[in-house]
Structure 1
Amino acid sequence: MTDPTPHDAQATEPAASEVPAPPRPTPGPPKPGPRPGPRPHAPAAPEVVVHAHHQPQTDPSKFGHIDTDGAVWLEVGDIRRQVGSWQAGAPEEGLAHFGRRFDDMATEVEILEERLAAGTGDPRKTKTAAIALRETLPTAAVLGDVPALETRLTAIIDDADSVAAQRTRDRDASRAAAIARKEELAAEAEQIGAETTQWKSAGDRLRAILDEWKTIKGVDRKTDDVLWKRYAKARDAFNRRRGAHFADLDRERAGAKSRKEELIAAAEALSGSTDWGPTAGKFRDLLTDWKAAGRAPRDQDDALWERFKGAQDVFFAARNAAGSERDAEFDANAAAKRDLLATAEKTVDPATDLEAARREFRTIREQWDAIGKVPREHMQSLEKRMRAIEKRISDAEEKHWRSTDPEVIARAQQFEARVAQLEEQAEKADARGRDREAADLRAQAQQWREWAQAAASAVSDR
Structure 2
Amino acid sequence: MTTSQQSDDSQKTPSPQAVKPAAKPVAAQTVAHTTPLEEAAKFARVTEDGHVFVIIDGAEHPVGQYPDASQEEALAYFVRKYDDAFSQLLLLEQRVAAKAPAGEMGKNIDALAALVTERHMVGDIALLESRLETVRAAAQNLAADQRKANEAARAEQLALRESIVEQAEAMAAKRPEQIQWKTASAAMNELFENWKSTQRSSVRLPRATEDALWKRFRAARTTFDRHRRAYFSQLDSTNAAAKAVKEELIARAEALQTSTDWAATAAEYRKLMDEWKKSRRASRKDDDQLWGRFRAAQDVFFQARAAANAKIDEEFAANLVVKEALLEEARALLPIQDLATAKAKLDSIRDRWEAAGKVPRGDLQRIESALRQVADAVKGAEDEQWRRSNPETKARSNSMLSQLQDTIAALEDDLKAAEAKGNAKQIAAAQEALDARRMWLSTLEKSAADFE
Asked if Structure 1 and Structure 2 have the same fold, meaning a TM-score greater than 0.5 normalized by the shorter chain, the answer is no
Structure in which a larger fraction of residues adopt helix: 2
What TM-score do you get using the length of structure 2 for normalisation?
A: 0.44
Who wins on radius of gyration, i.e. which is larger?
A: 2
What TM-score do you get using the length of structure 1 for normalisation?
A: 0.43
| Larger relative contact order, structure 1 or 2 (CA cutoff 8 Å, min sep 6) | 1
